[in-house]
Amino acid sequence: MLIKSTLFGISLLLASAAESRPMTTPPPPADGKLPVIIGYVGGFRGLADIENVAANKLTHINYAFVNVVNNRAVLTNEQTDTVNFRKLRALKLQNPDLKILISLGGWTWSGNFSDAVRSDTARRAFAASAVDIIRKHNLDGVDIDWEYPGRPGYEGNVYRPEDKENFTTMFAELRKELDALERETGEEKLLTTAVGAFSSFLESTEMGRAERYLDFVNLMTYDYSGRTAGHHTNLFASDKANSTNSADKAVQEFVAAGVPVEKLVMGIAFYGRKYKLPDDAAHGLGDSVVSRLSGGGFTLLKDSVENQQGYKKYRDAQAKAPYIYNKETQEFITYDDEWSVRNKCNYVKKHGMAGVMFWEYSSDPKEYLLDEINAALR
């Protein structure tokens, strides 16, 4: 059973009072809408395997990624992107309520955001170029994945202190362009963002102001591990893992920063992080890391790694997170499984969050985790 911490309750009350919202956890929406299930589908590799996407198991698809070049949103792989868009639209024959958004940026394509939104003129042109893509391809919205405003991300990315304010005004300009498109088409157009789910992201942004323009704030509650063999997508903190980050902490902090909990979306990792540990490692979890290895997607981990060939699966009950440790090869894998996903979904329902999102669809082609999400939320 999940237990809501005292700190979460205090943060929620303070944020609610500041925004004149009810000082209790929000009830389910009056319109009866179920939690959202947002899947990121990668088109950055070229043609995506969209024919095998289970449209009825999703509410939204975020197409990753659209590049930012010369202060404009650009389809770097336009030939394959166009095919992918056509196939994504065809999924609406299976699920007419499915929403399809373009996601701009990502880890490797976030280097030019700072330039693109630095001035009023640049922001207007950037917003118009992004919305022109969804206008041309008859899509449903824009998702911004800027990693990261005001702080380092991928090596060589441009970032400035003024990104903090420009991050907010970028959303204002995008919302204006999307509103105009709504008037043209008579259809709802969405604006969302994927955000770093750690404290310093909030220090370099104004999420309490930016949220007013956003439909959802997708918390990237993964990639937490690195320097030590810790959990990379844990729900709660753990004494065993020596980690300062967790999904629960991120939710608390974003609510305290002024983001309504009903706009927050919990991130789920459909892939693992794998590390080589020193020869004298004793426990796996909490030991130091020598190097990073290829972790693989969940289908691979479940079918070919868990409790096989010396790889033993464990559960950290405090963190609500699994891990795999091979004492012979000194390899450690941190990931989400059905159990941790079920705990995350229960958390989402308990705290009135908008739903869940995951990176990335192709990492679990047998849909083990997507089926668990649907069982828990639908």
List helix spans (H) across 47-104.
78-90
Q: Counting beta carbons within 10 angstroms of the beta carbon of residue 204, is it exposed (0 to 12), middle (13 to 18) or buried (19 or more)?
A: middle
Q: Counting beta carbons within 10 angstroms of the beta carbon of residue 70, is it exposed (0 to 12), middle (13 to 18) or buried (19 or more)?
A: exposed
* CA distance readout (Å), 43 to 47, 82, 91, 95, 246: 6, 10, 16, 21, 29
- In angstroms and rounded to an integer, the radius of gyration of the C-alpha atoms of the chain is 20
Q: How many CB atoms lie within 10 A of CB 182?
A: 12
DSSP string, 347-373: HHHHTT--EEEEE-GGG-TT-HHHHHH
**CB neighbours of 204 closer than 8 A, spacing ≥ 6?**
148, 149, 150, 151, 163, 164
In terms of DSSP bridges, do strands 72-74 and 60-69 run parallel, antiparallel, or are they unpaired? antiparallel
Distance from C-alpha of 370 to C-alpha of 378, rounded to nearest angstrom = 11
Distance from C-alpha of 194 to C-alpha of 36, rounded to nearest angstrom = 15
Distance from C-alpha of 102 to C-alpha of 63, rounded to nearest angstrom = 5
Q: Which residues are catalytic, by number?
A: 147
Backbone angles phi, psi at 288, to 5 degrees: -75, 165
Question: 3-state secondary structure string, 206-250?
Answer: CHHHHHHHCCEEEEECCCCCCCECCCCCCCCCCCCCCCCCCHHHH
- Cα of 191 vs its chain's centroid, Å: 14
- Cα of 235 vs its chain's centroid, Å: 14
- Listed residue (206, 205, 203, 199) closest to 224, CA to CA: 199
- Cα of 85 vs its chain's centroid, Å: 21
Q: For residue 159, how many C-alpha atoms fall within 13 Å in the half-sphere facing its CB?
A: 18
